[in-house]
Structure 1
Amino acid sequence: MKVGLAFLPAWIPYNPPLGITCISAVIEREGHEVSLFDYNAYIYDQIKDKHGELWLMDESPKWAEIEVFKKEIYPLIKTYLFKLVKDILSQKLDAIGFSIYNSNSHPTMIVIQNLRRIFPELKIFISGARVDEPLATELFKLKLVDAAIMGEGEQTTTEILEYWSSDEERDEILGAVYFNKSGEVIWGKKRPLLNIKDLPIPDFSKFDLDRYTSNGFPVEFSRGCVAKCTFCSETNYWVSFRTKSARQIVDEFKYHYDNYGVNQFRIVDSLMNGNHRLLEDMCDIILEEKHTFYWHGFCRISNKLTPALLKKMRDAGCTYINYGIESGSQNVLNLMKKRYKLSEILETVKHTKNSNIEVHAQILIGFPGETWFNFYETLRMLKILRGYFTRIYPGIPLSVTRQTYLYDNLDEYNVKLGSGEKWRTKNFSNTYTIRLIRHWILKKYLKYINITQGYPLEVE
């Protein structure tokens, strides 16, 4: 089949999108012809001079809130969304898949609606972190998609395409919701987890690499997370923590260097140190073979990140680590189920800086149960460690999102949902307005203590 895979804004366009590239590598291996449409980077490139700030992390609520999106963003990107529709139709594809996240769901739905109206015979499928049972139910009721992939997409997409290429009926396709040949909606059971060691290396050759704002490529060491933070959906989405081998990771670095001259890599995992033995083995191979690679990514605070391991990581090319610290209050850390102590934060941050690895950190404001004193504790921690941090990401105030422990246990946290970001605690101790005020104070305080903040649109 001739298949397209598309990714729409908004996502900071540092690198080519990894999700659709991974699926492309697998279905091409099965003989399908694949076209890739990164309209996130394309649209950013067209309007960045006047409106590039809309791709900043702080602006993501504007893309997620439908009324704000319609008023402030849609008029700016409307022309490009219809260009994508034309591009897809001009390819004379048999099927088109869209990767959906919270921040790109509205642009994606607009493109899907127009494709369905203009070319109803085109098979449309969706995958990504935003795809869950409520969304699938809504889209199948409206008959906007032919298949929705729940969870990992590589094998399920392959089987969906095989099904559409065949005249034979199937009782179900694991991991998929789809219309069968009689027009009935079939809900497949969960698919067993993939062995990611069996996946091919992603091929970025189909992208215009000049459009991206860094010179690196995204790479994954693992899928899943060893932690179970209550606000995070990644644990539920990936289900279980799995890794590639150290040899595979280094070979993937080498492949990208040999084929593209790229030796800078953004590790997209929930955490690079889910398996400290793997991390050290990878560093050993890089050092033994004398490669020059530069890489960075997220880590979990851990006393297993010893000075010796951190030094080895630096020698093997680790340039910075982004820690999901989230709070300087032990009470809030416990509510989040972070499972580490404040003393471990102080120790790990200092060891990292002393190893000549830049320290970046995430701060999450407004977790239910966070008091004004707890918020002050976070500011105090930032002041104590201000000489160690290179950059702090204040992000946006906490959202209560589906597929999280918090969302599934609202009563435990005394939370009442509202529209969009506007949830509150039942006793009004934590409201959207309070979270906005604390977030504003945090950003002003970071400026006051001279810590660089936020995700830049362009990086070296």
Structure 2
Amino acid sequence: MKVVVSSLNAKYIHTCLALRYLKAFCRDEFDVDMAEYTIKDPVMNIVSDLFRRDPDVIGFSCYIWNIEETIRVISVLKKIKPELTIVLGGPEVSYDTEYWMNRIPEVDCIVMGEGEETFLHLLRELSASRKFHFVFGIAYRNKAGEVCVNPGRPKLNLDDIPSPHRFAEDEPALASRVVYFETSRGCPFSCQFCLSSIEVGVRYFDIERTKADLLHLIDSGAKLIKFVDRTFNIKREYAMDIFQFLIDNHRGCVFQFEITADIMRPEVLDFLAEHAPPGVFRFEIGVQSTNDATNELVKRRQNFAKLTRTVSMVKASGKIDQHLDLIAGLPEEDYASFRKTFNDVFALGPEELQLGFLKMLRGTGLRHDADKYGYVYMDHSPYEILGNAILPFSDLMRIKRVEDVLEKYWNAHRMDRTVRYLIDREFDSAFDFFQLFGDYWEERGWQKIGHQLEDLFERLKAFLLDRGTADFEVIEGLMKLDYFLNHKYKPRKIWWDFTLDKTAQLRGMRMLAEQPQRVSPAFAALGLTEKELHKHAVIETLPFDLQRYELDGTIDRSGRSLLTVVFEPDGSGTRHFSMRLESAAAIG
């Protein structure tokens, strides 16, 4: 019996951990082939590839992001190969299972919940007596075509599951893909919007096995490993042991963890501040809301003061990037309350602020109580809300515009200096900047057309000029610096007219080559010739003292600055320098 397990990932760089668990657990009895695609792949390309593999059984791993595309693939597969046995599994079909069996008549079985042992038992029955009523944890169709749902299966001892990280076929692509890794299963919390709250208790894999798998992945070339544990730091000793192990053995690999910030002990933070290599760890922190009433309604225990302490200490260390999550649309959080939540969290200065929208996931308590709060939501995946009793669709659409501009201008780090200046000095709050700019963006129809880097700068400039923003020359100066620093190599295209004509630029380059100490000892140490400067550097004047602004935030317009940006020839880095000028004529 030929078996294929498959999934449609959200992006090519992603990998499906579930497929590897299934293959590893079944390998002593069945040869299981893995086939991964993306939700962007044409249906016929996926079907053609699966047909070419000529399987007897195909198991699809289903999630909120791929279920609709998977259904389209299944529909075609069953038409061209009616004898094929199709099995579904994964979190999207583990709840309301009878609904899925009725909606997708092409599906023969669904594996509910933890799938390794159940899938193996199902394969045994498919290859032999086909007594499906003996297989705990599945739904199937009996001989009369009726849907039968068997009782659930007890949880596995995690140490009985073979490693999913030892397949030679994975190794060539490890450096270019995201590797997903788990050290535990389950979650200790009861958040009513999250599927993880349904599984009671937390189980851990043996730590020595975990270390051995991590070391194998690192040695095999993995560059990014994302831990999928819902709360990596819930067991402090286990987390500290893994942190230390990765500090000792990272070899340039990057590791991302989902942590609960308000339970992070100060001694753990001090340890990371002292020992974590810069850039090797990333933390993802689900804040979701700072409204206490909202958190109580969704059974989310959170101490925002302690969370703030953790985020602030991590940020102060300069070692670990932080990705903070928010959810718009939670119970009793209207537009004004969400604005406060957004501003509370943005004030913490995360490297990335992810603004998501509540989804009514099957199996969650909040979906069960949807009518209580007046929720309206999409019938099919992703089940995103369309409004509730206090947050109408019109307000959700406004917040969508905030999300769009937030992604383009903050999370993408295209204008960190400019955006920070605008929020601190020109707008009432971070939320108001993103909202007003998002409204302006949509009014002009820019959401319907693409953009290149220079377009983002030109559109922000148009917004600020139309708004009548004070001190635009200063803001434009910061925009110029941000634009240069977004390039690995000297840019061929700019979106403004240089303040220096060609003669002044030639004079400036000559001065930098002959008198580099006028700029700074660090610039002089580069030892750049005039020819190298012309090839790998740009100069521009700014209408304020950039050195002083970067030192203490003061805008001193009594003089100008000569900004010099140097691009490494190999594209490995960009450095900027500035020197004070009393006037543009002072160059040379």
CA contact (8 A) 1:246 1:279 kept: no
Matched, 1:333 2:313: no
Please show how residues 24-423 of structure 1 align to structure 2 within 5 Å. 24-28=23-27, 30-40=28-38, 77=41, 80-140=42-102, 143-167=105-129, 169-180=131-142, 184-202=146-164, 203-207=166-170, 210=173, 214-236=176-198, 238-258=199-219, 260-262=220-222, 264-286=224-246, 292=251, 294-309=254-269, 311-312=271-272, 315=275, 318-355=280-317, 356-386=319-349, 389-395=350-356, 397-417=357-377, 419=379, 420-423=383-386
Q: 1:444 to 1:89 in 2, by over 3 A?
A: closer
Question: Hey, what's the Cα distance between the residues in 2 that align with 1:261 and 1:418?
Answer: 41
SS at match of 2:65: helix
SS at match of 1:362: strand
Q: 1:377 to 1:118 in 2, by over 3 A?
A: same
CA contact (8 A) 1:113 1:144 kept: yes
In the TM superposition, residue 286 of structure 1 has moved relative to its aligned partner by 4.7
Q: 1:246 to 1:310 in 2, by over 3 A?
A: farther
CA contact (8 A) 2:175 2:223 kept: no
Aligned equivalent of 2:2: 2
CA contact (8 A) 2:329 2:385 kept: no
In the TM superposition, residue 332 of structure 1 has moved relative to its aligned partner by 2.9
In the TM superposition, residue 411 of structure 1 has moved relative to its aligned partner by 4.3
Which of the residues 429, 433, 437 maps onto 2:390?
A: 429
Question: Hey, what's the Cα distance between the residues in 2 that align with 1:314 and 1:128?
Answer: 40
Question: Hey, what's the Cα distance between the residues in 2 that align with 1:135 and 1:248?
Answer: 34
Q: Which amino acid aligns with 1:308?
A: V
Residues paired across the two proteins, number = 406
Question: Hey, what's the Cα distance between the residues in 1 that align with 2:346 and 2:244?
Answer: 36
Q: 1:192 to 1:364 in 2, by over 3 A?
A: same
SS at match of 2:363: coil
Question: Hey, what's the Cα distance between the residues in 1 that align with 2:197 and 2:324?
Answer: 20
CA contact (8 A) 2:108 2:140 kept: yes
SS at match of 1:370: coil
Question: Hey, what's the Cα distance between the residues in 2 that align with 1:140 and 1:172?
Answer: 22
In the TM superposition, residue 263 of structure 1 has moved relative to its aligned partner by 5.4
Question: Hey, what's the Cα distance between the residues in 2 that align with 1:15 and 1:141?
Answer: 28
The TM-score with structure 2 as length reference comes to 0.63
SS at match of 1:113: helix
The TM-score with structure 1 as length reference comes to 0.79
CA contact (8 A) 1:225 1:240 kept: yes
Percent of paired sites with the same residue: 24
Question: Hey, what's the Cα distance between the residues in 2 that align with 1:313 and 1:149?
Answer: 44
Q: 1:216 to 1:436 in 2, by over 3 A?
A: same
CA contact (8 A) 1:328 1:380 kept: no
Q: 1:325 to 1:152 in 2, by over 3 A?
A: same
Question: Hey, what's the Cα distance between the residues in 2 that align with 1:134 and 1:340?
Answer: 30
In the TM superposition, residue 383 of structure 1 has moved relative to its aligned partner by 4.4
Q: 1:319 to 1:194 in 2, by over 3 A?
A: same
More RCO (CA 8 Å, sep 6+): 1
Question: Hey, what's the Cα distance between the residues in 2 that align with 1:39 and 1:418?
Answer: 25
In the TM superposition, residue 129 of structure 1 has moved relative to its aligned partner by 1.2
In the TM superposition, residue 181 of structure 1 has moved relative to its aligned partner by 6.0
Question: Hey, what's the Cα distance between the residues in 2 that align with 1:196 and 1:229?
Answer: 24
Aligned equivalent of 2:19: 20
Q: 1:84 to 1:442 in 2, by over 3 A?
A: closer
Q: 1:310 to 1:399 in 2, by over 3 A?
A: farther
In the TM superposition, residue 169 of structure 1 has moved relative to its aligned partner by 2.8
In the TM superposition, residue 370 of structure 1 has moved relative to its aligned partner by 0.5
Q: 1:310 to 1:150 in 2, by over 3 A?
A: farther
Q: Which runs of 5+ in 2 are unaligned?
A: 411-418, 424-429, 435-588
CA contact (8 A) 1:149 1:176 kept: yes
Q: Which amino acid aligns with 2:268?
A: A
CA contact (8 A) 2:21 2:116 kept: yes
In the TM superposition, residue 275 of structure 1 has moved relative to its aligned partner by 1.7
Calculate the aligned-residue CA RMSD, in Å.
Answer: 2.9
The Cα offsets for residues 73-110 of structure 1, whole Å up to 9 and x where unpaired, read as xxxx4xx3212222222222120010111221121111
CA contact (8 A) 1:368 1:415 kept: no
Q: Which amino acid aligns with 2:4?
A: G
CA contact (8 A) 2:287 2:324 kept: yes
In the TM superposition, residue 126 of structure 1 has moved relative to its aligned partner by 0.3
Question: Hey, what's the Cα distance between the residues in 2 that align with 1:226 and 1:13?
Answer: 32
Q: Which amino acid aligns with 1:305?
A: R
Q: Which amino acid aligns with 1:254?
A: L
Larger Rg: 2
